[in-house]
Structure 1
Amino acid sequence: MGTCDTCGNGYSDSFQVIKDGTEYTFDCFECAIHKLAPQCAACGVRIIGHGVQHGQALYCCGHCAHGAGASGIVDHD
């Protein structure tokens, strides 16, 4: 039984994720997302899709990127 690194729940079906050489244990994908997914530089939501990048900043969508002053970003309709 593993203990979730986000919420502390002990769970028999926990799983491990290795990111940048560090191993994490989670009891659900929600906790993995909360701990590991980057946040949008504009609105703060967790980016669980592709997102967009401008320079070093990550955004959840083109709308947020444009609002932060990025140019040349295109969202799909």
Structure 2
Amino acid sequence: MARCDVCGNDYDKAFTVQTVSGGGTFDSFECAIHALAPTCAHCHCRIIGHGAEHNGIFYCCAQCAKHAGVVGIDDRI
């Protein structure tokens, strides 16, 4: 069995995710998201969708980017 890097659970169905900057072993997608997903610079939620990026700063949506003063990012209409 493999131990989850986030919660420490020793689980027979754990999986490994490889990224450019490393990765890890997880027992659930929830733990993988907690460890790997970027955080919105405005509301601090985990970005698990497309999100938005401006000058290397990540936002969960165009609304958060606008609240942070970014101009020119719009959600699809």
**TM-score of the aligned structures, taking structure 1 as reference length:** 0.95
Q: Could you say which residue in structure 2 is the equivalent of 1:73?
A: 73
Aligned residue number for residue 61 of structure 1:
61
* Alignment coverage as a number of residue pairs: 77
Partners of 1:2 and 1:71 in 2: how far apart?
45
Offset from partner CA, 1:16-63 (integer Å, 9 cap, x none):
001125241000000000000000000000000000011111000000
What stretches of structure 1 of length at least 5 have no aligned partner?
A: none
CA contact (8 A) 2:23 2:36 kept: no
- In the TM superposition, what are the counterparts of 1:47-58 in structure 2 within 5 Å? 47-58=47-58
Q: Corresponding residue for 1:38?
A: 38
Q: Which amino acid aligns with 1:47?
A: I
CA 1:69–1:21 in structure 2 vs 1: closer, same or farther (change >3 Å)? closer
TM-score, reference length from structure 2: 0.95
Percent identity, please: 53
Runs in 1 of length 4+ with deviation above 6 angstroms? Answer: none
Q: Which runs of 5+ in 2 are unaligned?
A: none
